[in-house]
Amino acid sequence: MLHLSEREQVVEYGKRLILERLTNGTSGNLSIYDPQSDHMIISPSGIPYLETKVEDVVVMEARTAKVVEGSRKPSSEWALHIGFYLAEPSARAVLHTHSAYATTFSCLHEPLRAVHYGIAAAGVETIPVAEYATFGTPALSVNALKAIGRSKAVLLANHGLIGWDVSMPKVFSLIKEVEFMAELQYRALSIGKPIIIDSEEMARVIEKFKTYGQQPEV
């Protein structure tokens, strides 16, 4: 079986998506990219995360979009994932969720702003919203990549959230943090007018996050 350790990570982090309430039912999907073989290891379509086994995970060749190994259908958003790997040379893992707070802002076409400095985890002060496109279409990938800029995460209008990073553990932490940022923005807006941190300070925070190479534990 090809890419066993990557398959195991796809299964493990798929379970965590449900257990940590980052998505519902079978929505969302996750993948890992191996640049040497050009293989993308991606969650299968329509199988509940808690029931997914390593043999259900699908291996595809990114450049040709052909299934290399697997008897299941790949996630319906396989084109969205491939788009990220082809556009961003450092991307090794992509995670897409319909997490409640981030998706709420995506339905308003409202970006996530620097209500809290933790937004710098995405490498930017504002997480943008990509224009709407039907799920599972190449247009969704095009719109997401057009909107994402230097951010590692982007909201998909009336749909959800997607992000990339250099590994599955890292992209999982990123998506979790972005969802928390969305929750804070939602809560702050519900009782008042959030004070947005200015660009000069956010530039300092983003730089500081880079220097530490991880989010500071404060």
Footprint on this chain of Zn ion (rule: CB under 5 A): 160
**For Zn ion, the closer CB: 29 or 151:** 29
CB 23 → Zn ion: shortest distance, Å? Answer: 9
The string over 136-151, giving b where at least 16 C-beta atoms fall within 10 Å of a residue's C-beta and e elsewhere, is eeeebbbbbbebbeeb
**For Zn ion, the closer CB: 81 or 176:** 81
Closest CA to 94 of 34, 142, 149, 134: 34
Structure tokens at 23: 């998505």
CB 103 → Zn ion: shortest distance, Å? Answer: 9
CB 140 → Zn ion: shortest distance, Å? Answer: 9
Structure tokens at 203: 């530039």
Q: What three-state secondary structure class fits 198?
A: coil
**For Zn ion, the closer CB: 44 or 160:** 160
Residue of 51, 61, 77, 183 marked active site? 77
By beta carbon distance, the residue nearest Zn ion is 160
Q: Is 77 a catalytic residue?
A: yes
CB 35 → Zn ion: shortest distance, Å? Answer: 25
Neighbours of 102 (CB within 10 A): 28
Stretch (H or E) spanning 108: helix 100-108
Burial class of residue 218 (count of CB atoms within 10 Å of its CB; 0-12, 13-18, 19+): exposed
**For Zn ion, the closer CB: 111 or 160:** 160
Active site residues: 77
